[in-house]
Amino acid sequence: MSDKKNLFKPGQSGNPNGRPKGAKNRTTEEIRKHIQFVLDGQYQSLEADLDSMSPFQRVMMVEKLTKFFLPALAKNENDTNVLGEVKVTVSFVDTPMRDNDSSTNEFQVD
């Protein structure tokens, strides 16, 4: 039997004619095109739905949906040394919600 540990050199593929680097998955592309086709006819409805949400819910929904349409950003290594306290404040002006408890800004998309 051959020693599988030394079958390929580092950086060498078992299938040199395989998928090139950066090639898109055909099924993933088909699904994205189908979702885009479905959403193309739903812009007015989606806008009305987003308008009916509280600002917090709207931000959460957009954040959850964008990961399906925008490529993920590469990790950015921040080597800046911060000496001292960093304070970030985010505020939402909430309007009464129809089907939820307006006293909280909790929202979950499954």
Please state the pTM of the whole predicted model: 0.37
Number of neighbouring beta carbons within 10 Å of residue 59: 15
| CB within 8 Å of 46: residues ≥ 6 apart | 39
Residue-averaged pLDDT of the chain? 76
pLDDT higher than 70, residue 96 = no
Q: Give the per-residue pLDDT at 82.
A: 79
- Residue range 55-72: mean pLDDT, rounded: 83
